[in-house]
């Protein structure tokens, strides 16, 4: 299969191009497309065969359910049942946007989308290309991130091609996904309501609607998906938490040690520390006080280290507030060496 690349303007999408892409979805094939969080790999959510192709292309385990994307709040009722006031309050506040809700599913949603569960994850993205693609396809679109399973999520069409070239029909090149980490997932099917995965919407914002909401934790690990090792580059990641001078000194100690041992390594650093590490291979993800920028650059920095073929990445941790919680969650998962480690 040859993967076609279709360039579409993110601010003024050309409708004839969108129609071409949506036709591919209607025909049961796969289209990768940008959203405000990361690039998604889309298929008709009501077509089980099309959805199966997602699992095949990504090498994703079948028990890991997909998020269904809609272009109109009203379409929520086609995907989920028992939509109550809390749900409506949340979508009134945060949709379109990086918030995924887990709700009871409608019968029309095939088992392959939900991993056989009676619940479904659904969101309305805040990105013109994604919204018009879904609208033109006239069906909800199941779309996980458009990467190979376990790899860092793609924030550009180029990243998608690195993982999936030749395995999918079309990728829409619509620029860089601007948030850069995935949506926050909230489970509304079990009380107390909980956050299954931290993401684009912070817990502080959600507490305006659900004051008692907490992160769902199992054995101390945030529990989005069942996979501890996730979002991972080829290199091993070591996270150095903290901030300021002590953090920099710890990073330097590790760097010197790796250097002595002859390892190939890189340092993922905050802007303010860019001159602290001399000639070592340093990539910057954002200023420590701007989690938004750090999130936007995180996955592409990890992929850049893979291009450099480093064995180890020493990553400076960030403050766990707002998007910072999502960044630390992704770094921790990416740093798990093997599933057995946890
Ligand atoms: P992604 O790989 O970014 O598409 O994220 C999909 C994730 O959404 C899965 O790994 C699950 O953690 C979560 N998810 C999807 N559907 C459900 C569901 N019905 N119940 C709980 N979590 C879900
Ligand atoms: Mg994913």
pLDDT above 90 as % of the chain: 82
pLDDT in the model for residue 29: 97
pLDDT in tens, 196-213: 999 999 999 999 999 999
pLDDT in the model for residue 226: 53
Residue 112, CA distances (Å) to 39, 47, 163 in order: 21, 9, 22
pLDDT band at 217 (very low <50, low <70, confident <90, very high): confident
pLDDT in the model for residue 231: 82
pLDDT in the model for residue 123: 98
64 lines ligand 1 (CB under 6 A): yes
- Average of per-residue pLDDT across 220-226: 50
pLDDT in the model for residue 322: 87
Residue 227 alpha carbon, nearest atom of ligand 1: 10
In this structure, whether the domain defined by 236-341 belongs to CATH 1.10.290.10 is answered with no
What is the dotted CATH code of the domain comprising 4-215? 3.90.870.10
pLDDT in tens, 234-271: 999 999 999 999 999 999 999 999 999 999 999 999 99
pLDDT in tens, 275-294: 999 999 999 999 999 998 99
pLDDT at 340 over 60: no
102 lines ligand 1 (CB under 6 A): yes
* Residue linked to tokens 């860019």: 274
Residue 60 alpha carbon, nearest atom of ligand 1: 2
pTM for the predicted model, two decimal places: 0.87
Residue 143 alpha carbon, nearest atom of ligand 1: 4
Ligand positioned closest to the Cα atom of 117: 1
Ligand positioned closest to the Cα atom of 152: 2
pLDDT band at 232 (very low <50, low <70, confident <90, very high): confident
Q: Which protein residue has the closest C-alpha to ligand 1 atom 13?
A: 225
pLDDT band at 338 (very low <50, low <70, confident <90, very high): low
pLDDT in tens, 6-28: 999 999 999 999 999 999 999 99
Residue 187 alpha carbon, nearest atom of ligand 1: 21
- Average of per-residue pLDDT across 27-36: 97
pLDDT at 220 over 70: no
Please, what is the average pLDDT of the chain?
A: 93
- Average of per-residue pLDDT across 110-119: 90
Q: Which protein residue has the closest C-alpha to ligand 1 atom 1?
A: 144
Ligand positioned closest to the Cα atom of 113: 1
Do strands 4-7 and 67-69 pair parallel, antiparallel, or not at all (unpaired)?
Answer: unpaired
Ligand 1 centroid from CA 24, angstroms:
24
pLDDT in the model for residue 177: 86
Ligand 1 centroid from CA 65, angstroms:
5
pLDDT above 70 as % of the chain: 95
pLDDT in tens, 161-209: 999 999 999 999 999 888 989 999 999 999 999 999 999 999 999 999 9
**Residue 201 in contact with residue 222, Cβ under 8 Å?**
no
pLDDT in tens, 52-74: 899 999 999 888 899 999 999 99
Domain boundaries of the chain, sorted by first residue: 4-215, 236-341
């Amino acid at each position: 299969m040859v993967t076609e690349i279709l360039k579409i303007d993110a601010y003024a999408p050309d409708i004839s191009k969108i129609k071409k892409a949506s036709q591919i979805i209607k025909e049961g094939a796969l289209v990768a497309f940008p959203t405000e969080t990361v690039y998604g790999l889309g298929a008709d959510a009501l077509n089980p065969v099309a959805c199966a192709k997602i699992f095949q292309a990504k090498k994703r385990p079948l028990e890991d359910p997909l998020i269904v994307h809609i272009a109109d709040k009203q379409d929520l009722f086609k995907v989920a049942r028992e939509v109550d006031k809390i749900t409506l309050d949340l979508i009134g506040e945060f949709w379109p946007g990086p918030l995924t809700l887990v709700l009871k599913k409608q019968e029309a949603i095939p088992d392959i989308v939900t991993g056989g569960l009676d619940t479904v994850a659904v969101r309305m993205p805040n990105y013109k290309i994604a919204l018009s693609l879904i609208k033109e396809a006239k069906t909800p679109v199941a779309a996980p991130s458009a990467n190979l399973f376990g790899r860092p999520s793609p924030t550009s069409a180029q990243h998608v091609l690195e993982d999936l070239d030749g395995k999918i029909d079309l990728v829409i090149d619509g620029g860089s996904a601007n948030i850069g980490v995935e949506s926050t997932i909230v489970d509304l099917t079990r009380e107390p309501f909980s956050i299954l995965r931290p993401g684009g919407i912070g817990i502080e914002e959600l507490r305006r609607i659900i004051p008692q909401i907490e992160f769902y934790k199992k054995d101390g690990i945030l529990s989005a998906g069942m996979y501890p090792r996730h979002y991972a580059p080829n290199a091993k990641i070591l996270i150095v938490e903290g901030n300021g001078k002590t953090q920099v000194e710890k990073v330097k100690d590790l760097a010197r040690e790796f250097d002595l041992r002859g390892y190939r390594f890189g340092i993922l650093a905050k802007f303010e520390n860019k001159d602290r590490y001399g000639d070592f291979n340093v990539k910057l993800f954002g200023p420590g006080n701007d989690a938004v920028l750090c999130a936007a650059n995180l996955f592409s920095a990890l992929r850049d280290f893979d291009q450099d073929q480093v064995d180890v990445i020493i990553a400076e941790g960030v403050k766990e507030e707002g998007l910072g919680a999502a960044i630390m969650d992704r770094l921790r998962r990416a740093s798990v060496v093997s599933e057995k480690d946890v």
